[in-house]
Amino acid sequence: MVRGIKRGWGNSVFRWISGLFCRDVGIDLGTANVVVYVKGQGIVGNEPSVVAIKRMGQRGNEKVIAVGTEAKAMIGKTPHGVETVRPLQHGVIADYDMTESMIAHFLSLANGGRSQFAHPRVVICVPACVTEVERRAVIDATLGGGAREAYVVEEPVAAAIGAGLPIAEPRGNMVVDIGGGTSEVAVLSLGGIVIHEALRSAGDEMDQAIIAMLRQNYTLHVGEVTAEEIKLSVGSAMPYEGEEEEMEVKGRDLMDGLPKAVRIRAAEVRDALNPSISRIEDMIRDSLEETPPELARDIVDQGLVLTGGGAQLRGLPAYLQESLKIPVITAEKPLFSVALGVGKILEDLDAMKKVLISVDKGMQ
């Protein structure tokens, strides 16, 4: 949905004046997590991209009751009339109003809770594959959430900058970001994207694969929060030392509907994750095949850098290194690479605007 962006003069002037008193903000608007960066301060917040709403009468009339960590804690446990929503699906806005509420919440958090006066300049990232309409929707939701000016940067560019890759140089840099809803691969050189591919196989799909495995092997029904916990504690891409590890999982029996507990093995979880990991591997291989030879040469030497929460899956770098035969390095803080990249752009916004072709300004 694209919204009109013209607002009255009075409102603009008020926003401009109030903007003088707040700091520029960078937002990594992920499907799983939102990470907030404040200029001069660094990362100030990291919360799940979840909103809890209470329905008031007919559809369309709902009140936001919690955002972020508080809302995630409610998933699968809500009483009648209350719902948890993940406003972003596969990197794009699925629920516009909820996205706007979420951005408003994080902008107020960035400004120490003083939302009514927080009208900063905001740099926000979008996956490189989004359409013009989807990009516009992100800008509008950012302005609607309280920003005075909104700039969009493509996620792989931010991830690469945040991971410390020298993307401005005439050199092939490959970055692979594995988030909740999407995995993206990009080859960058001279400040721009040369090759880009994205895929819906990422963290959420892995959680769904664990749910399906438990259903099939144990007739056990678990929710996505439990599935993610299993992935984080015993999930892996390759066999590892001590992998005979077991874990007790509790859920509901599909046969008799009663609660039950089963013990599962790490190897079973690895098998369940394997198809998602293979799809990510194939995507990277395709991109390597399409990369111009002069840039491919650099990637063979320097390798690829993994970012995003999914990069933390046990054994993933080793697995990819073995199958792709190039060095695979995990960024220092994979969950924060994009936000740190957005932050670097923000710290020098006026200079970066000239360099980054993907920066887009949403005027009021």
**Is residue 226 at the binding interface for ligand ADP, with CB under 6 A as the rule?**
no
Taking the complex as a whole, how short is the minimal distance between the CB of residue 237 and ligand ADP, in angstroms? 9
Which of Mg ion, ligand ADP, none is residue 312 near (CB under 5 to 8 Å by kind)? ligand ADP
Taking the complex as a whole, how short is the minimal distance between the CB of residue 163 and ligand ADP, in angstroms? 12
Taking the complex as a whole, how short is the minimal distance between the CB of residue 129 and ligand ADP, in angstroms? 13
When the beta carbons of 19 and 127 are compared against Mg ion, the nearer one is 127
Mark the segment that binds Mg ion (CB under 5 A) among 13-21, 30-38, 41-49, 253-261. 30-38
Cβ-based neighbours of 17, under 8 Å, separated by 6 or more: none
User: Can you list the alpha helix ranges (DSSP code H) found in 47-163?
Assistant: 69-72, 96-110, 132-144, 155-162
Q: How far apart are the first and last CA of the chain?
A: 17
Q: Which of 18, 33, 173, 226 binds ligand ADP (CB under 6 A)?
A: 33
C-alpha pair distances (Å), 232 with each of 144, 187, 244? 35, 29, 16
**Is residue 30 at the binding interface for Mg ion, with CB under 5 A as the rule?**
yes
**Is residue 309 at the binding interface for Mg ion, with CB under 5 A as the rule?**
no
Taking the complex as a whole, how short is the minimal distance between the CB of residue 120 and ligand ADP, in angstroms? 21
**Is residue 91 at the binding interface for Mg ion, with CB under 5 A as the rule?**
no
Mark the segment that binds ligand ADP (CB under 6 A) among 5-13, 31-39, 92-100, 325-333. 31-39
When the beta carbons of 111 and 337 are compared against Mg ion, the nearer one is 337
DSSP letter (8 states) at residue 119:
-
As a whole number of angstroms, the distance between CA 194 and CA 292 comes to 9
Q: Angle between the 266-290 and 224-234 helix axes, to the nearest 10 degrees? A: 80
As a whole number of angstroms, the distance between CA 102 and CA 106 comes to 6
As a whole number of angstroms, the distance between CA 172 and CA 291 comes to 9
Residues touching ligand ADP, count (CB under 6 A): 19
Residue 248 phi/psi, 5° resolution? -90, 130
Contact residues: ligand ADP, CB under 6 A: 30-33, 179-181, 203-204, 228, 231-232, 235, 308-310, 312-313, 335
